[in-house]
Structure 1
Amino acid sequence: MDSQLIATIVSGLLIAVGLAGVVVPVLPGSVSIAIALLVWALALQNTVGWVVFAVGMVFVAAGMLASAVLTGRKLKERQVPNHSILVGVVVGIAGMFVIPVVGLFVGFAVGLLLSEFVRRRDFRDAAGASVAALKAMGLGVLAELGCAFAAGTVWSIGVVTYYFVL
């Protein structure tokens, strides 16, 4: 098999893992897409590969930045500290093994709520902050996912251009 075809297949798989990773934080997300774009550009060593890499990286960077800005601003606004998020992640990872499929998300929400309750000593206030944090993180994931899909689309257009147009 041709090394460029192998690089195309590997890149496609990495992009699929990256798209899933944006939603499921256990998998690498946008970083996988960036690596896939670079692998493909290095394998092709032509204008199509490097243009796809450059344009795709703009989307990857925009998605990561949008996610961080949207989430961080809302978390700061609601005064949710990083340690509460970390507790949510740890409980989410544990929940993944306790409740198949949805354990990560349920565990994260429960861990976040418990951490905020211990910190604030008021359930209503902790619940409000936790819901705001979950909404902010969901909005950040949606922004990053949209940009990740755009980067994947750029790669798909590049594949069609390289294999069928040129």
Structure 2
Amino acid sequence: MDPIAELIVGLVIVVGLVGAVIQIYPGSIIVAAAVAVWGVVTGGAIGWTVAVVGVLAVAVAGVAKYLYAGRYLKGAGVPNRTLLVGGVLGVVGFFVIPVVGLPIGFVLGVYLSEMGRHRDHRGAWRSTMAAIRATGLTILIELAGALIATGVWVAGLLATG
């Protein structure tokens, strides 16, 4: 692959890594796609290995983040209905207050749902904090998968360059 194309792949990976952190667009999927495109275009054993390992890293992280978050929230006693309300208000918040409305709406939705369930500020806030921690952990897991894919791409880039 020529250097300009590799630079473009690198820039797309950076955009994906930012997305894995800010969670407004599917950043890890963008990283996986960029790494896969590089691997397929580069070809050979190194290219295909980079493509497969990069995509697998993102896929495993994607599954792990949902399994871990679900287990964490069940342990904290936060029902799925609460997360649904938080997600819906997060989406509404995204359109009402661009960029920062998503997390504000999510937290507000979780809090209001749990306030209705607990009828107590402390219980609602405890559940809200558990949901925020679980969200933070899922971001870290997704970022880890995207960083592994990025590291594999850099190794492949050095091996072919």
Q: Confirm or deny: 8 A CA contact 1:20 1:27 kept in the other structure.
A: no
Structure 1: distance between partners of 2:14 and 2:87: 23
Q: What code does the residue aligned with 2:104 have?
A: V
CA RMSD of aligned residues (A): 2.3
| Residue aligning to 2:26 | 28
Give, in angstroms, the shift of residue 152 of structure 1: 0.8
Q: What code does the residue aligned with 2:19 have?
A: G
| Residue aligning to 2:71 | 73
Structure 2: distance between partners of 1:54 and 1:37: 9
| Residue aligning to 1:90 | 88
| Residue aligning to 2:120 | 122
TM-score (norm 2): 0.83
| Alignment CA distance shift 1:80-1:41 (3 Å) | same
Number of residue equivalences? 161
Give, in angstroms, the shift of residue 41 of structure 1: 1.9
Q: Does 1:58 align with 2:78?
A: no
Secondary structure, aligned partner of 1:75: helix
Give, in angstroms, the shift of residue 5 of structure 1: 5.2
Q: What code does the residue aligned with 1:149 have?
A: L
| Alignment CA distance shift 1:50-1:132 (3 Å) | same
- Following TM superposition, the consecutive aligned residue runs of length 4 or more in structure 1 with deviations greater than 6 angstroms are none
Task: Give the alignment partner of residue 134 of structure 1, picking from 132, 135, 153.
Answer: 132
Structure 2: distance between partners of 1:106 and 1:117: 16
Q: Confirm or deny: 8 A CA contact 1:116 1:129 kept in the other structure.
A: yes
TM-score (norm 1): 0.81
Task: Point out where structure 2 has 5 or more consecutive residues left out of the alignment.
Answer: none
Structure 1: distance between partners of 2:80 and 2:52: 33
